[in-house]
Structure 1
Amino acid sequence: MASEIQEEKLQSLSSRSDPITEISPVVALHCSGHDSHQWDFLRTLIEPSVPFHAFDLIGTPARGPWKGGFKFGLQDEAVALIAHIARIGEPVHIVGHSYGGALGLHIAGNQPELVLSLCLYEPTSFSLLKTDQVEDGRLLKEIETLASDIQSAVEQGCSEFAASLYTDFWGGVGSWQTLSRARRQALADWIPKVVLDFQALIDEPAQTRNVSVPTTLMLGSQSHPHTQRIVEILTRDLDQAKLTEIPGADHLGPFRFRDCVAGVIWRHLLEHSSTKDRSRASA
């Protein structure tokens, strides 16, 4: 599959004599519990001439822990990222997974001038479940219970147990046991940040009314009903949203189905990029 994506990429960029595609900078945002290396595979598939920025969020080894106490919101996460995009000097395509997808929506809703398009795999904007629908309330309560259980475990000094709760929820029961000792330790070190992430994702209203950019939403066919419902709401509420389902994938699709996900992202970038005259490009 990876070779097919490479071939498609080369054909897309070189098959046209006039005009050619010019892809704007890409900013990739990882999910909770990982870091910018989540997108290393995607980086290898994107044309080298395309500026690619995989950003490390708070809680990663590169950024360190949150030092602002118990109060935390997506705006706190976004400060450094917004400054980074501003330094790029032009609107960017934002690619995001899970928490990174919710952060991308936050930036597009609050700083629309910085965002050219969004390509998001199951953004965990849990506040969207605060509707008058009984089933949405049940789904939200399950997330709130998970967040509360993780917080209690962290406060009792049981970081590994907290990390196992989180891992088995998203990856399936038994996922924690399949991880290497080093990976378990990394998640245990990081898990206090997820308490803050859940707080932000549940408490802060998603600014969907202000998001008016081309948006590709990806959904795994085997994903949790919580994220399936969030993507359904976003597909309905965003005026330029398009839904792509990844057959057989779950919430960890960018890891377990990375070829398919990377292919969707690449096609999104091509579809929502500008063109320029080949003679001007070579001048």
Structure 2
Amino acid sequence: MQMIDGEPKATVTQDMHHTDAAVMALHCSGSDSTQWQHLDTYLAQETELILPTLAGAEAVTRGWSRKTYTLAEEAKPLVDALHHHAAPMHLVGHSYGGAVALHIARHHPERVVSLCLYEPTSFSLLSHVNQADRKLFDEIETLAVAIENAVAEGCPDFAAQVFTDFWGGVGTWQALRRDRRAALIDWIPKCPLDFGALLYEPPGAALPAHLPVTLMVGTQSQRQTQRIVQLLRAETSQASVVEVDGAGHLGPFTFRDRIAGLISAHFQRVGKPMIAAGTVGRGL
């Protein structure tokens, strides 16, 4: 397993030449590389798991803002990693990490073997379809502005609570461990940048027609993410949609083992690199 501490301009210094396709798993906003660490126990012995930590609040100190930060900027160190690797990679992603994975697949399709995504928050897809979708887009933009204003007014704890309770439901913030709340408060200045990158992503190339895609969506999730999954399903005939009964947007945390099993099923469908669920892999 390789851990990459991501900064906006970070690069991968270790040479990563392997014959088998590796897996790069991208976490959601406000999390870090440990989100997908448990996938290591599902991997075949010869498969490399790459766990980047995406850019954090340091991006704000470098001059980026909600209106200027982009998924292309976020993806730079990841694209560098892909090009340093001898073979294309499978990409796994949740929420913001899923949207970053989609961006990479659209702009660097030759480096991607497959996509397995839980509710990618590609909000820009909602901005140009119809009036109902535009309303969903406007709701997220309003949320982003509210969080941005709270941070600017010196209320990062309130901003972090608004963000957390939007995705997890009222009370999610209060249920978090103290260290997780502190980590989110430290990260929250980056939140408006993530929203801006997601909301204002310019139209990109279509997903490659041959690319295998699994899209997971919770039955209790927000209308925005459910609609984005519908739009992505309509974009490519290779997409398979899996509904996770009872899960919300935080399904990879609250239904961790179930989601890991679905990721395993995805790799069984595309041929590599997960072992079959219930069999012995590394770390077991």
The verdict on a shared fold, with TM-score over 0.5 as the criterion, is yes
Structure-2 separation of matches of 1:249 and 1:273: 27
Rg (Cα) greater in structure: 1
Does the CA contact (< 8 Å) of 1:32 and 1:194 recur in 2?
yes
Counterpart in the other structure of 1:6: none
Counterpart in the other structure of 2:192: 195
Counterpart in the other structure of 2:146: 149
TM-score w.r.t. the length of structure 2 is 0.84
SS at match of 1:243: strand
Asked whether 1:49 is paired with 2:49, we answer no
Q: Which runs of 5+ in 1 are unaligned?
A: 1-21, 276-283
Q: What percentage of residue pairs aligned between the two structures are identical?
A: 49
Tell me by how many angstroms 1:24 deviates: 2.1
Counterpart in the other structure of 1:120: 117
Residues 105-162 of structure 1, C-alpha deviation per residue, up to 9 Å, x if partnerless? 0000000111000000000000011134222121111101100100000111110100
Residues 142-195 of structure 1, C-alpha deviation per residue, up to 9 Å, x if partnerless? 101100100000111110100000000000001111112211111011011111
Structure-2 separation of matches of 1:124 and 1:252: 12
Between 228-237 and 82-91, report the one with greater CA deviation: 82-91
Structure-2 separation of matches of 1:37 and 1:178: 20
Which amino acid in structure 1 is aligned with residue 176 of structure 2? L
Structure-2 separation of matches of 1:255 and 1:182: 16
Does the CA contact (< 8 Å) of 1:120 and 1:217 recur in 2?
yes
Counterpart in the other structure of 1:184: 181
Between 238-247 and 224-233, report the one with greater CA deviation: 238-247
Higher share in helix: 1
Alignment counterpart, residue 28 of structure 1, candidates 19, 25, 28? 25
Number of matched residues? 251
Aligned 1:80-229 pairs, distance under 5 A: 80-207=77-204, 209-212=206-209, 213-229=211-227
Distance 1:68 1:238, change over 3 A: farther
Counterpart in the other structure of 1:251: 249
SS at match of 1:233: helix
Structure-1 separation of matches of 2:167 and 2:126: 18
Structure-2 separation of matches of 1:271 and 1:207: 27
Alignment counterpart, residue 228 of structure 2, candidates 205, 227, 230? 230
Structure-2 separation of matches of 1:45 and 1:23: 16
Residues 66-88 of structure 1, C-alpha deviation per residue, up to 9 Å, x if partnerless? 52432210111111001111112
Does the CA contact (< 8 Å) of 1:125 and 1:206 recur in 2?
no
TM-score w.r.t. the length of structure 1 is 0.85
Structure-2 separation of matches of 1:163 and 1:216: 30
Which amino acid in structure 2 is aligned with residue 147 of structure 1? A
Does the CA contact (< 8 Å) of 2:20 and 2:87 recur in 1?
no
